[in-house]
Structure 1
Amino acid sequence: MNNILWSGIRSFLAVAEQGSFTAAAEATGLSKASLSQQVTALEKTLGVQLLYRTTRILRLTEVGQGYYEQCRSAVNQLDSAREWATQSTEALSGTIHMNSVGGLIGEELIAPMLIAFQQAYPQIDVKLDFSSQRVDLIESQYDLVMRMGELPDSSLVARRLHTITTRYVASPEFLEKHGPITHPHDLRELPLIYGSVSEWSFVKPDEQIRIQAGKGFQIANGRVMLRAAEQGVGIARLADLYTNRGLRDGSLVEVLPEWRQTTPLSLICPPARYQLNRVRALADWLIEHFEGYSKPFR
């Protein structure tokens, strides 16, 4: 790949990601004229139009979108290969971008562990982001992602942190008012407390039931869902790390225990990024310390 083509690809990626030549110029330190010339030269070399440009808008063409996705993936892999080849075999340094679920798990378990890791390895800069959205690790900036649930992409490196048990809980007052709950069908007419997942699935080897949450309280925040359950608003579906304290002190009662579900909590990473010493060191740290940090929530 010649330097002109490589420069054009880098400039095209910057413009596509920043959304304008002005923002890309500020991000890269290149002039708007230089970026425009390089992108135009790239389009001429490829024989396709990558961007729609007007005085008001700039957006990717259909071909440009596909070309961007493939180039971003390739450049990420090349950057990872360069870092791996030049990294020190002794000193741990550099930046790690990590994405994690938020709430209690992210803020009270993962964040304290990362703070301790940062203190132990001050030459490593950790950048943590909370979100529940699925991240495409091949194309994103993240080196390490923590996610709940099964991992369909077998091309990624996955390491199990913990197995979470999902429980259905309510306050004693709520159950006294609404009567016993012995089957998932009993939930259809009751107020539910739910987050981004509004359809609850109950599965046994010989039975599968889906309950659509239609009435109750919806909030995509585990702490608020927990508080609502303790105050008798409805029945909540929450991970055991949220519910264990309430079940111990009697502010919560578990219903439908035979319908509990388990789901893995895992660290996932692209193979190229996992080869970096600092990323592997952070994954090892989180796995080693998770059990100790999670004890107060059991």
Structure 2
Amino acid sequence: MNNISWRGIRAFLYVAEHGGFTAAAEVSGFSKANLSQLVTELEAALSVQLLYRTTRQLRLTEIGQGYYERCKIAMQQLDSAAEWASQSTDELRGEIRMNAVGGPVGEEVLAPLIIEFQRQHPGIRVDLDFSSIHVDLIASHYDLVMRMGELPDSTLIARRLHSVTTRYVASPEFVAENHEIAGPDDLKSLPLIRGSVDTWTLSKGKTRKTVHVAEGIKVTSGRVMRQAALAGLGVTRLADVYVQADLQQGRLTEVLPAWSEETQLTLVCPPLRHQLHRVRVLMEWLKAHFAERYQQALAEGPGQHFKSNLGAS
């Protein structure tokens, strides 16, 4: 280990991440020749080949891929430790990289809170990403993630934010025109408005029912699913933040209310990032204000928050 240079590991990570010495040199500040020398010295110190080099391409060996994955995590931990050691505990400054669910929950509940947080703490910049990818917090570059559902990784720092109720709804006209919907089996003969999932699993206590969606329409947008339900095209299932205002004002009717489902929204953070003062402050801010903002979004309905802001400007 004494013969292994940290600069060599950094150089290898740059090359692996950017697919070649030329691209790595453009972003790293190292010269192409220097990168090549450092990686060669690293391979010699390890007595293994990390890269396949040809005149046309460069790719990782099997050992190189495994070494890259482990070194990337280790370097992230070292960077976090260095940042923690050098940070000021009194001054809130720096970047927070956050991934979250989108739709009304992300855009009309979380985003206004993030905007207000940054207004109160101008030294902090929150990079908020609404991509729907599943994030591996240990291996990724994110400091904080808002997840919906179960959390299998118990090594992460988790803070519960709020519970979301999924409701089954249709227009009053659709309900009046069709037979009474008394249970999940009655959905099988009706047109259903679904998103990316073609099988619905309904739960009531310990009872579970599965419905394979065959009739109806498929759209991968909760807002469009709501519009389709309002237009009387069938039964859909959506989070309460999409449909609560419509239910209260009679534009939609809830069917199978006993089968509505509760899903937990949770803030999740890697242990090393949780040690950063700015990340902990943001987590506490969201815990303190999320429920109130969520209730406001329920009353307003999707899209109303930003409409009201635009109208006031």
For structure 2, the residue ranges without an aligned partner over 5 or more in a row are: 299-313
Give 1:2 shift: 5.2
Give 1:67 shift: 1.6
- Equivalent residues in 2 for 1:156-171 (5 A)? 156-171=156-171
Matched, 1:262 2:262: yes
Tell me the residue number matched to 1:64.
64
For structure 1, the residue ranges without an aligned partner over 5 or more in a row are: none
Identity rate, percent:
59
Give 1:296 shift: 2.3
Kept in 2: contact 1:4–1:38 (CA 8 A)? no
Could you say if the C-alpha distance between residues 288 and 205 of structure 1 is closer, same or farther in structure 2, counting changes exceeding 3 Å? Answer: closer
The one-letter code matched in structure 2 to 1:262 is E
Tell me the residue number matched to 2:310.
none
Tell me the residue number matched to 2:22.
22
- Equivalent residues in 2 for 1:173-192 (5 A)? 173-192=173-192
Could you say if the C-alpha distance between residues 161 and 174 of structure 1 is closer, same or farther in structure 2, counting changes exceeding 3 Å? Answer: same
Tell me the residue number matched to 1:141.
141
Separation (CA, whole Å) in 2 of partners of 1:30 and 1:11: 8
Separation (CA, whole Å) in 1 of partners of 2:34 and 2:46: 18
The one-letter code matched in structure 2 to 1:219 is V
Which digits, 9 at most, give the CA deviation of each residue in 1:173-208, with x for residues without a partner?
222233221111122232222223332112234532
- Equivalent residues in 2 for 1:89-238 (5 A)? 89-238=89-238
- Equivalent residues in 2 for 1:76-95 (5 A)? 76-95=76-95
**TM-align CA RMSD:** 1.8
Give 1:4 shift: 5.3
Kept in 2: contact 1:200–1:210 (CA 8 A)? yes
Which digits, 9 at most, give the CA deviation of each residue in 1:97-150, with x for residues without a partner?
000111111111111111111111111111111122210000100000001001
Deviates further, 238-247 or 27-36: 27-36
Give 1:3 shift: 8.3
Tell me the residue number matched to 1:281.
281
SS at match of 1:228: helix
Could you say if the C-alpha distance between residues 194 and 33 of structure 1 is closer, same or farther in structure 2, counting changes exceeding 3 Å? Answer: farther
Query: Normalised by the size of structure 2, how large is the TM-score?
Result: 0.89
Kept in 2: contact 1:165–1:260 (CA 8 A)? yes
Kept in 1: contact 2:109–2:297 (CA 8 A)? no
Kept in 2: contact 1:84–1:276 (CA 8 A)? yes
The one-letter code matched in structure 2 to 1:95 is E
Give the paired residue count: 298
Separation (CA, whole Å) in 1 of partners of 2:252 and 2:52: 57
The one-letter code matched in structure 1 to 2:82 is R
